[in-house]
Chains A and B, each alone.
Chain A
């Protein structure tokens, strides 16, 4: 063993080492993202289909009256943009969890988990990486929406950033918890049907909650219990430089809970993975 390696060991895990490790995890996520351009395009096409086709069709049917954070009547295409931003983050969070299941099946996950850095830090690094990528996707979509003629306040481009970061973190952590529960890649279709679609449609992403309440009080209650609703509202208000305190509080609490659950799930002492043979991450 070289003298440099010995020095390195004696120093232990330094703050610089933590930074190098996190940068490495983010860099790998970015490399994967760049190498899988199809993923990037798919992530943009999905919300664009909603914006260009769905919103155009509903424009005449669905009027959105004045309600916070809007100060005037708005077109449906404007209303739906925050929901589509959250949708990008939601799908990327799930895609990231899918990639964790893939990594686990392919064994790549072990490389991450046998790093000397604490497990919680490795998972948070991975979450940070997926959040950064999802925020980049959101801004790419905002540019396309703006080119499509959606009117967005100039200040909103900046003020929405914290909401996108927090929202991305929460949805990424939720995906991470799900990834610990999924045994095989094939089971992910079940997650699409039983988690992603219900959470997306039973939210304020596509239609205002007051309209949901008028048509179905039960669905309205479901929307209120859905954490995704609060990500959408947090992003919506932030895009107009306003703060929805309830949404912020729910998103913070959910982020903490999901992150803690993910760390627990991947903890070798308590995690779900340790209880089954052949599932060593």
Chain B
């Protein structure tokens, strides 16, 4: 299960310095139940890493730790070198997040949702308006700024959430199953837009998913299963090390579980 990404994982101290996002030997429990055990991964600056795992693998728990909704008690997480536990303000300022659950305020307009987010990052009104206009253009929804969020389709809401995560120009974008519950066309649009934005802005992306069709051949992949990282590296390396023909077979060989299908529905753990 070796791959190019593992070199960074074996030297966590180095990873923290050179990576945009670094997770080092992180464990987390809910009471007696172990949700994550010794999880390590690194997202290089401007890189795209897919965190692949079935429901209950621990992806959402890991996101809660990265975003400091939960405190990291075992291990270390850094964003742009800032420790999330010790320097949460600096770390969170560098992080843009799209949660698995919808987090738009449905009773206010799209523009107001984005302006609210800008204020939460201390961005003044004039600059905030400029940024909101720019990110809405990036996701192709400039014409929806004055509409109530409630009126948007699921796919449009997701794109607005991605736009919102980019308002403060983060270095790292973390997306927890952003395509859950969307139709095929909306999924494709979102995957495409995030990849394009990441390329254009040099933003590092951590993309959590259980859908294999969202992963491209050149992507770095981290396979998370029952709270543990089973494999990490470039997709082709993972397939080769598992002695499989494709990622689906490699996933099955690594986890012993059937690989998820593209139209599967989700509820994370």
**Interface of A toward B, CB cutoff 8 Å:** 1-2, 4-5, 8-9, 12-14, 16-18, 20-21, 23-25, 27-28, 31-32, 35-36, 106-108, 110-118, 122, 267-270, 273-278, 280-281
- Closest CB of chain B to A250's CB: distance in Å? 33
Instruction: Check A31 against B71 for contact (C-beta < 8 Å).
Output: no
**Distance of A98 Cα from B201 Cα, bound (Å):** 40
Given A35-B108, A107-B102, A277-B269; A21-B69 close (CB under 8 Å): no
Is residue B153 within 8 Å, beta carbon to beta carbon, of the partner chain? no
Specify which of A2, A112, A116, A269 is in contact with B169 (CB 8 Å cutoff). Answer: A2
Given A1-B171, A21-B120, A107-B102; A276-B68 close (CB under 8 Å): no
**Distance of A34 Cα from B155 Cα, bound (Å):** 28
Instruction: Check B169 against A1 for contact (C-beta < 8 Å).
Output: yes
Specify which of B89, B97, B116, B169 is in contact with A24 (CB 8 Å cutoff). Answer: B116
CB contacts (< 8 Å) of A274 on chain B: these are: 69-71
- Closest CB of chain A to B99's CB: distance in Å? 6
CB contacts (< 8 Å) of A1 on chain B: these are: 169, 171, 201-202
**Distance of A279 Cα from B127 Cα, bound (Å):** 34
Is residue B124 within 8 Å, beta carbon to beta carbon, of the partner chain? yes
Q: Which stretch (B29-37, B236-244, B254-262) binds chain A? A: B29-37
**Distance of A5 Cα from B61 Cα, bound (Å):** 29
Given A113-B69, A114-B67, A268-B70; A35-B107 close (CB under 8 Å): yes
- Closest CB of chain A to B74's CB: distance in Å? 13
**Distance of A17 Cα from B122 Cα, bound (Å):** 4
CB contacts (< 8 Å) of A115 on chain B: these are: 92, 120-121
Instruction: Check B89 against A13 for contact (C-beta < 8 Å).
Output: yes
Instruction: Check B103 against A110 for contact (C-beta < 8 Å).
Output: yes
The residue in A5, A25, A118 that gathers the most chain B C-beta atoms within 10 A of its C-beta is A5
CB contacts (< 8 Å) of A122 on chain B: these are: 120
The residue in B61, B68, B121, B164 that gathers the most chain A C-beta atoms within 10 A of its C-beta is B121
Q: Which 9 A-B pairs have the closest CB atoms?
A: A24-B119, A17-B122, A5-B169, A107-B101, A115-B120, A269-B71, A280-B69, A107-B103, A280-B64
Using an 8 Å CB-CB cutoff, how does the interface string of B200-242 with A read, 1 for contact, 0 for none? 0110000000000000000000000000000000000000000
Using an 8 Å CB-CB cutoff, how does the interface string of B68-111 with A read, 1 for contact, 0 for none? 11110100000000000100111111110101011111111000
CB contacts (< 8 Å) of A17 on chain B: these are: 122
CB contacts (< 8 Å) of A18 on chain B: these are: 122
Query: Which chain A residue lies CB-closest to B73?
Result: A269
Given A1-B171, A21-B120, A24-B120; A106-B35 close (CB under 8 Å): no
Given A4-B127, A9-B94, A35-B108; A112-B171 close (CB under 8 Å): no
CB contacts (< 8 Å) of A280 on chain B: these are: 60, 64, 67, 69-70
Specify which of B30, B90, B105 is in contact with A28 (CB 8 Å cutoff). Answer: B105
**Distance of A106 Cα from B71 Cα, bound (Å):** 21
Instruction: Check B68 against A24 for contact (C-beta < 8 Å).
Output: no
Instruction: Check B117 against A111 for contact (C-beta < 8 Å).
Output: yes
Query: Which chain B residue lies CB-closest to A276?
Result: B30
- Closest CB of chain A to B66's CB: distance in Å? 10
Is residue B138 within 8 Å, beta carbon to beta carbon, of the partner chain? no
CB contacts (< 8 Å) of A106 on chain B: these are: 101-103, 106
**Distance of A270 Cα from B91 Cα, bound (Å):** 20
CB contacts (< 8 Å) of B133 on chain A: these are: none
Specify which of A31, A110, A277 is in contact with B35 (CB 8 Å cutoff). Answer: A277
Instruction: Check B119 against A32 for contact (C-beta < 8 Å).
Output: no
Is residue B194 within 8 Å, beta carbon to beta carbon, of the partner chain? no
Instruction: Check A9 against B93 for contact (C-beta < 8 Å).
Output: yes
Specify which of A4, A25, A277 is in contact with B119 (CB 8 Å cutoff). Answer: A25
**Distance of A276 Cα from B68 Cα, bound (Å):** 15
CB contacts (< 8 Å) of A36 on chain B: these are: 107
Is residue B168 within 8 Å, beta carbon to beta carbon, of the partner chain? yes
Instruction: Check A114 against B69 for contact (C-beta < 8 Å).
Output: yes
**Distance of A31 Cα from B92 Cα, bound (Å):** 26
**Distance of A110 Cα from B96 Cα, bound (Å):** 12
Is residue B141 within 8 Å, beta carbon to beta carbon, of the partner chain? no
Query: Which chain B residue lies CB-closest to A270?
Result: B71
Specify which of A20, A111, A113, A118 is in contact with B89 (CB 8 Å cutoff). Answer: A118
Is residue B112 within 8 Å, beta carbon to beta carbon, of the partner chain? yes
Is residue B118 within 8 Å, beta carbon to beta carbon, of the partner chain? yes
Is residue B190 within 8 Å, beta carbon to beta carbon, of the partner chain? no
- Closest CB of chain B to A27's CB: distance in Å? 7
Specify which of B71, B89, B269 is in contact with A116 (CB 8 Å cutoff). Answer: B89
CB contacts (< 8 Å) of A9 on chain B: these are: 90, 93-94
Query: Which chain A residue lies CB-closest to B88?
Result: A116
**Distance of A274 Cα from B29 Cα, bound (Å):** 10
Given A106-B102, A115-B92, A116-B121; A32-B107 close (CB under 8 Å): yes
Is residue B123 within 8 Å, beta carbon to beta carbon, of the partner chain? yes
Query: Which chain B residue lies CB-closest to A15?
Result: B122
Is residue B162 within 8 Å, beta carbon to beta carbon, of the partner chain? no
CB contacts (< 8 Å) of B69 on chain A: these are: 110, 113-114, 268, 273-274, 280-281
